[in-house]
Amino acid sequence: MSSKPRIVLSSDHAAIDLRQAIAAHVKGLGHEVHDIGPTTTESTHYPKHGAAAAQMIADGDADLGIIVCGTGQGIMMAANKVKGIRCGVCSDTFSAKMIRAHNDANMLALGARVLGEGLALEIVEAFVDTAFEGGRHGTRVDMIKALEE
């Protein structure tokens, strides 16, 4: 992965404002951003939005994903059904660093009804700025990958 990973963003209707704030923030940090919507607050279904962002990573069109719904939980569950995706919900910066450093997570899920915008943006920065440590953690991530086969 390059020093500035390409980031895909999606959400459901519960998280439009937070997703757009995150998009602006990561663009400001110099990342290439693919915000795949939705753009209206009309009620929609989080699985399709989580899966669409996950598929972009699986296809090599983005390096990291940030997906948002009311709690982060439903959209995370959907994304993790796509082969090659490792997505965790985080509500603190320590966990956001650790899912990159130890779990090589390629997607972060956030809850727009859980987090204030300031904390959410700090969590996003912790996630995108942390590299996978490899080593013994690589062995364990390989074990996760093997479960998909």
Q: C-beta of 18: minimal distance to ligand RB5 in Å? A: 11
Q: Is 69 in the site for ligand RB5 (CB under 6 A)?
A: yes
The Cα-based distances of 70 to 33, 123, 126, 137 in angstroms read 22, 16, 21, 31
Looking only at residues 79 through 118 of this chain, which bind ligand RB5 when binding is defined by CB under 6 A?
Answer: none
Of 6, 25, 50, 71, the one binding ligand RB5 (CB under 6 A) is 71
Q: Which residue among the candidates 31, 69, 87, 90 is catalytic per the annotation?
A: 69
Which residue number is nearest to ligand RB5 in terms of Cβ? 74
Q: Characterise 30 by phi-psi region: left (phi > 0), alpha (psi -120 to 50), beta (else).
A: left
> CA-CA distance, 125 to 139, in Å (whole number)?
26
56 part of the interface to ligand RB5, by CB under 6 A: no
Distance CA(38)–CA(29), nearest Å, equals: 22
Q: Based on the residue annotation, tell me whether 69 is a catalytic residue of this protein.
A: yes
**CB of residue 52 to ligand RB5, shortest distance in Å:** 15
**Site for ligand RB5 (CB under 6 A): how many residues?**
8
Q: Residue 11: CB partners within 8 Å, gap ≥ 6? A: 18, 19, 37, 38, 46, 49, 67, 68, 69, 75, 112
Which residues make up the interface to ligand RB5 (CB under 6 A)? 12, 14, 46, 69-71, 73-74
Which residues are tagged catalytic? 69, 102
